[in-house]
Amino acid sequence: MNDFTGKTGLIVGVANKRSIAWAIAQALAARGARLAVTYQGERLEENVRELCASLQDPLLLPLDVTDDGQIARVFEAIERGFGGLDFVVHGAAFAPREELSAPFVETTREGFRLSLDISAYSLIALARGAAPMMEKRGGGSIVTLTYLGSQRVFQNYNVMGVAKAALEATVRYLAADLGPRNIRVNAISAGPIKTLAASGISGFSGILQHYRDRAPLRRTIETAEVADAAVFLLGPAGRAVTAEVLMVDGGFHATGM
Ligand code: NAD
Ligand code: 0WE
């Protein structure tokens, strides 16, 4: 059920070994998948190159998701290198640091634009690039990463919450659009994990402790647990699941008082 031998995938959102997208890449590679892994700019290239040394014949490609030219070149390289594509993992998110500390009402037009461009629009652009190659393979599966801050207010998550709400709606609209071509689109809503994207967010250890105290499982989650959910959604076990937001948060989302 969870065999990815002969399958090829695109992984976007690896910054370092703690990245959720990296845990997903490892889980897929361990099951036989061949991967194209992208890095955002030269600053991260060396890091990602070292990680990918452990993969079987990876394609390493630069990708800033705000750049349509780079997106086009990624799919050209995959067509040339792999001759097809079965899945995409989207783990790119960004909001300017100030937007995650100032009061939400102070959200700037440019901060809003950039946050939604990188964190939500990019899924549409990647799905459009991937769809023709997936269709040739008889279908495909796309997974993105989201957070409960899309549905509930978390102090300081601010415009990222708005971006994740847009991302989750994008999942549903893409699923409806691409479903007839047997391309599935889903999101995993992960509980908080101390990754690069979480570092420097003031009060993050307090958020982790709140989940330990309140989540039904009384603990936080690990990247490997998100990866197992991704393996399900990307592989044949998830073949009837699309337009879904799968909560992988120890049950925190269900708690009230
Ligand atoms: P991370 O910092 O390892 O990953 C974020 C990635 O986004 C980085 O690889 C970064 O290079 C990439 N990125 C940012 N701007 C980009 C751009 N313009 N072009 C291309 N890539 C760009 O942190 P992570 O926690 O692994 O985050 C991955 C995803 O998981 C994000 O969507 C995040 O919102 C989501 N998520 C994280 C948590 C958490 O607590 N860590 C919880 C739920 C969801
Ligand atoms: O999606 C995220 C964080 C994404 C993120 C992180 C940063 C930090 C560095 C986006 N943009 C930036 N910009 C930077 O300059 N998470 C789900 C993790 C997270 O971030 C929070 C959280 C949680 C959880 C911010 C405030 C409150 C809770």
Backbone dihedral region for residue 251 (phi beyond 0: left; psi -120 to 50: alpha; all else: beta): left
- Ligand 2 within 6 A of 201 CB? yes
Answer yes or no: are the C-beta atoms of 115 and 94 closer than 8 Å.
yes
- Ligand 2 within 6 A of 115 CB? no
CATH no. for residue 199?
Answer: 3.40.50.720
| Residue 163 belongs to a domain | yes
Coil/strand/helix, residue 140 = strand
| Residue 256 belongs to a domain | no
| Residue 240 belongs to a domain | yes
Task: Give the tens place of pLDDT for each residue, 39-85.
Answer: 999 999 999 999 999 999 999 999 999 999 999 999 999 999 999 99
Which residues are the active-site residues?
A: 147, 157
Q: How many CB atoms lie within 10 A of CB 166?
A: 17
Give residue 170's pLDDT: 99
| Residue 201 belongs to a domain | yes
Domain count, the chain: 1
Whole domain around residue 172: which residue ranges? 8-250
Task: Give the tens place of pLDDT for each residue, 198-224.
Answer: 988 989 999 999 999 999 999 999 999
| Residue 255 belongs to a domain | no
Q: What is the DSSP string of 13-32?
A: ---STT-HHHHHHHHHHHTT
Residue from 16, 44, 65, 160 to probe ligand 2 pocket by mutation (most atoms less than 8 Å from CB): 160
Answer yes or no: are the C-beta atoms of 234 and 28 closer than 8 Å.
yes
Encoded tokens for 103:
């009061």
| Residue 1 belongs to a domain | no
Give residue 200's pLDDT: 83
- Ligand 2 within 6 A of 39 CB? no
Q: Helices in the chain by DSSP H: which ranges?
A: 20-30, 42-52, 68-81, 109-116, 122-136, 158-178, 204-214, 223-234
Q: How far apart are CA 30 and CA 43, in angstroms?
A: 27
pTM of the model: 0.99
- C-alpha to C-alpha distances, 67 to 24, 126, 138, 203, nearest whole angstrom: 24, 11, 29, 33
Atom number, ligand 2, closest to the C-alpha of residue 99: 13
Checking if the pLDDT of 114 tops 90, the result is yes
| Residue 257 belongs to a domain | no
Task: Give the tens place of pLDDT for each residue, 170-192.
Answer: 999 999 999 999 999 999 999 99
